[in-house]
Homo-oligomer: A and B are copies of this chain.
Amino acid sequence: MAGRIQGDGGLEIRSVQPFDLAQPGDLTLAAGRKTLEKIEDCPASAVIVPPGISSPRKTLLQVEHPKLAFARLLEHLSRTSFVAKGVSPLAAIGDGCRISPEVSIYPFSFLGDGVSVGNRVTIFPGACVGDGCELGDEVVLHPNVVLYPGIRLGNRVVIHSGSVIGADGFGYVFDGERHIKIPQTGTVIIEDDVEIGANSCVDRGTFGATVIEKGVKLDNHVHIAHNCRVGSNTVMVAQVGVSGSVNIGRNCIFAGHSGVVDHVTIGDDVRVMMKTGISKDVPAKSSVSGQPAMDHREAMRIQAIIRRLPEIYEELKELKKRMKDEG
């Protein structure tokens, strides 16, 4: 990532801070209109900006993608080298586990039988890994994460506290008197570089696998039901719920509280707005909102009219009255 420095190239930076918190000695980011307008008022000594921005007093670092440059910088600065603490004597490890030498397995974590654990893996206290699970390299299971038996995690998968991977899918058949459970004999596959927030759930497949493809990011309280596929790099914000056997493309973005009924296919690059309820297939590259979901532009048009309904209704009454007077 190449950049151009405008100002004092020899400036010494104390720390990297967000725009609102930056102090003299800090490097910060101004990428949007709101912050760019306030560059002169910001106490930061240096600012990462898009090309074409100038300042009489600040040292500027002009780059093509300022937000990305800032993130890479932060990522670089916050990178801590992994320190292997080994396997705590207070952890419970099942029979036949294959555990790489460089790991940190904390007290009160539980590994069932036949678990395999890659290099530089961290398993925090209270995490429970069921029989036969396979964890790639550099996996992090935060405290109290639960993996049911037979789950596969790729490399660099991070799962935050309280999330549950591989609980039974929700499937029953009613025989007129009681719900008979459909046995949930499948599994969950979570590919490389997936991060899952706190208290989320990914259910195992009824048969086969529920698949979270590489680079997917799920926020807190997200629910993914049995046999879904979530395409690579798709992002879901908190409290999204996806019913069974939904096929979701790549690079989609689901806003908070949105939901999908079962057996629906959603294409690549779809944007789903807050609280949208999807009940049928959504083509690639579309944006949807509303309950039931529709094209977002159409929904906006309709919403604008809905806001004016009281006035429209008055007009209609007026028309009726005039018709009557005239008729």
Contact = CB atoms under 8 A, between A and B. Distances in A.
Interface of A: 17-18, 21, 65, 67-68, 70-72, 74-75, 77-78, 88, 90, 92, 106-108, 110, 124-126, 128, 142-144, 146, 148, 160-164, 167-168, 170, 172-175, 178-183, 185, 193, 195, 197-201, 203, 206-208, 215, 217, 219-221, 223, 225, 233, 235, 237-239, 241, 243, 255-257, 259, 261, 274-275, 277, 279, 291-292, 294, 298, 301-303, 305-307, 309-310, 312-313, 315-316, 319-320, 322-323, 326-327
B207 A174 contact: no
Nearest to A192: B178
A254 to B, nearest CB: 12
Contact of A75 (B183, B215, B217, B277): B183
Given A92-B125, A305-B310, A316-B312, A162 B146 contact: yes
A21 to B, nearest CB: 6
DSSP class of A's interface residues: helix, strand, loop or mixed?
A: loop
A107 B90 CA distance: 10
A92 B44 CA distance: 43
Nearest to A306: B302
Given A72-B180, A302-B309, A315-B316, A201 B201 contact: no
Contact of A207 (B18, B124, B125): B18
B225 A201 contact: no
A241 B257 contact: yes
Contacts of A197: 167-168, 170, 201
